[in-house]
């Protein structure tokens, strides 16, 4: 993989899980990386940290402006902040739908809107959205979450078409079940976390959960000039689940 020397990147939801692994990988490869998160208190140097809530347009604009000023520009946006939701359409209220859609979809729109003017000035502009296999897999008990990720998938294709002539590539990754603090919280809430973990692992053709660093690797590829002719695509990082 090419290195990221001279590349300036912003990672939303970069304080934990997939976002954290991505921010650290890009920094190890030579990028200057800013993390935007609800709670960036755990983020250490060399990563730069900015507090923002992607559901609050003013806070996103302020954090992006501060990060771009500190980075002296922007080449890469990793639109990754997201939250989960479980249940069927009968389990989630209208408020649940608005709240989760506001983070998972409109949050990415707000961040992209704040970043696009700066990405236009870059010679290597790329946006990578964290989608999910839930967008296309038809998972049970995930109606709301899947619908938000379906929207992220469509948004990725539409943005790729809108911005390709400006030199801005837009792609997404579709992770399967990734071993992150989020999944840890789900397991902790189960009656038997060990059995639940074993069931999740058994669902994977590889027999194990996907590592956050493995998703970070796919994001780094889509953010790098190595994928310079690739836009409007999704890359599955799911341990083979999608092929079943
Ligand atoms: P995580 O909970 O470990 O990390 C998410 C980060 O996003 C946290 O640091 C959190 O503070 C931040 N965040 C949440 N809401 C925010 C908001 N309103 N504004 C700013 N920051 C906010 O989760 P993760 O597992 O690393 O998930 C990251 C992304 O990957 C999400 O978009 C998720 O949908 C997607 N994903 C995860 C999995 C999985 O199995 N873990 C699978 C497919 C897709």
Q: Tell me the two tokens of residue 150.
A: 């379906």
Q: What is the pLDDT of residue 242?
A: 79
Q: Is residue 2 part of a domain?
A: no
Please state the φ and ψ torsions of residue 88, each to the nearest 5 degrees. -90, 180
* Number of domains forming the structure of the chain: 1
Give how far Cα 9 sits from Cα of 30, 47, 90, 237, Å.
Answer: 11, 10, 40, 21
Q: What is the pLDDT of residue 244?
A: 56
Provide the ipTM.
0.99
Burial 71-89 (b: 16+ CB within 10 A, else e): beebbbbbbbbbbbbeeee
Q: Is residue 3 part of a domain?
A: no
Q: Is residue 198 part of a domain?
A: yes
Average pLDDT of the residues in 78-93: 97
Out of 15, 18, 210, give the residue to mutate to test ligand 1, the one with the largest number of ligand atoms within 8 Å of its CB: 18
Atom 24 of ligand 1, nearest CA residue? 17
Q: What is the pLDDT of residue 241?
A: 87
193-203 vs 181-189: helix axis angle to the nearest 10? 130
List, for residues 170-210, the tens digit of each pLDDT value. 999 999 999 999 999 999 999 999 999 999 999 899 999 99
Q: What is the pLDDT of residue 122?
A: 98
CA atoms within 13 A on the CB side of 241: 26
Average pLDDT of the residues in 219-241: 96
CA of 165 from ligand 1 middle (Å) equals: 30
Helix/strand number for the chain, H first, E second:
9, 9
Nearest ligand 1 atom to the CA of 209 is: 40
Out of 180, 219, 235, give the residue to mutate to test ligand 1, the one with the largest number of ligand atoms within 8 Å of its CB: 180
110 neighbors 54 (Cβ within 8 angstroms)? yes
List, for residues 24-64, the tens digit of each pLDDT value. 999 999 999 999 999 999 999 999 999 999 999 999 999 99
Q: What is the pLDDT of residue 11?
A: 98
> Where does ligand 1 bind, in terms of residues with CB under 6 Å?
12-13, 15-19, 37-39, 52-55, 80-83, 103, 107, 130, 132, 175, 177-178, 180-183
Longest pairwise C-alpha distance within the chain: 52
Confidence of residue 88 (pLDDT cuts 50, 70, 90): very high
Length of the chain, in residues:
244
Q: What is the pLDDT of residue 97?
A: 98
List, for residues 152-161, the tens digit of each pLDDT value. 999 999 999 9
Q: Among 71-80, 168-177, 235-244, where is mean pLDDT lowest?
A: 235-244
Of residues 138 and 1, the one with the higher pLDDT is: 138
The mean pLDDT of the chain is 96
CA of 134 from ligand 1 middle (Å) equals: 14
Q: Tell me the two tokens of residue 203.
A: 């669902």
What residue has token string 């209220």?
A: 93
Burial 138-169 (b: 16+ CB within 10 A, else e): ebeebbbbbbbbbbbbebbbebbeebeeeebb
Average pLDDT of the residues in 113-135: 97
Strand-pair partners of 170 = 127
Give the CA dihedral 119, 121, 123, 126, nearest 10 degrees: 10
Q: Which helix (H) or strand (E) holds 136?
A: helix 134-137
130 pLDDT exceeds 60?
yes
Q: What is the pLDDT of residue 2?
A: 53
Q: What is the pLDDT of residue 141?
A: 93
Q: Is residue 221 part of a domain?
A: yes
Residue 185 is part of a domain; what is its CATH number?
3.40.50.720
Nearest ligand 1 atom to the CA of 179 is: 41
Average pLDDT of the residues in 86-102: 97
Q: Is residue 195 part of a domain?
A: yes
CA of 25 from ligand 1 middle (Å) equals: 17
Out of 176, 182, 218, 242, give the residue to mutate to test ligand 1, the one with the largest number of ligand atoms within 8 Å of its CB: 182
Strand-pair partners of 126 = 76, 169
**Structural domain of 206:** 8-236
**Catalytic site positions:** 145
Q: Is residue 227 part of a domain?
A: yes
Atom 11 of ligand 1, nearest CA residue? 38
Q: What is the pLDDT of residue 243?
A: 64
Nearest ligand 1 atom to the CA of 53 is: 19
pTM (2 decimals)? Answer: 0.97
Q: Is the dihedral of CA 242, 24, 223, 70 positive or negative?
A: positive
């Amino acid at each position: 993989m090419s290195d990221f020397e001279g590349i300036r990147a912003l990672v939303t939801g970069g304080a934990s899980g997939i976002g954290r692994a991505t921010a650290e990988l890009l920094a190890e490869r030579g990028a200057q990386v800013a993390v935007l998160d609800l709670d960036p208190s755990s983020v250490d140097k060399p990563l730069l940290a900015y507090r923002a809530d992607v559901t609050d347009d003013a806070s996103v604009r302020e954090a992006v402006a501060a990060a771009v000023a500190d980075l002296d520009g922007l080449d890469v946006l990793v639109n990754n902040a997201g939250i989960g939701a479980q249940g069927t359409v009968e389990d989630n209220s209208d408020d649940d739908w608005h709240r989760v859609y506001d983070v998972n979809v409109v949050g990415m729109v707000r961040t992209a809107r704040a970043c696009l003017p700066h990405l236009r000035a870059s010679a290597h502009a790329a946006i990578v959205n964290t989608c999910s296999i839930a967008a296309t897999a038809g998972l049970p008990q995930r109606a709301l979450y899947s619908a938000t990720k379906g929207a992220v998938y469509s948004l990725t294709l539409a943005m790729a078409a809108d911005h390709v002539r400006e030199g801005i590539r837009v792609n997404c990754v579709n992770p399967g079940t990734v071993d992150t603090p989020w999944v840890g919280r789900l397991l902790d809430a189960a009656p038997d976390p060990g059995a639940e973990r074993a069931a999740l692992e058994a669902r994977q053709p590889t027999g194990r959960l996907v590592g956050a660093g493995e998703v970070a690797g796919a994001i780094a590829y889509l953010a790098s000039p190595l994928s310079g002719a690739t836009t409007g695509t999704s890359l599955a990082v799911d341990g083979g689940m999608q092929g079943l």
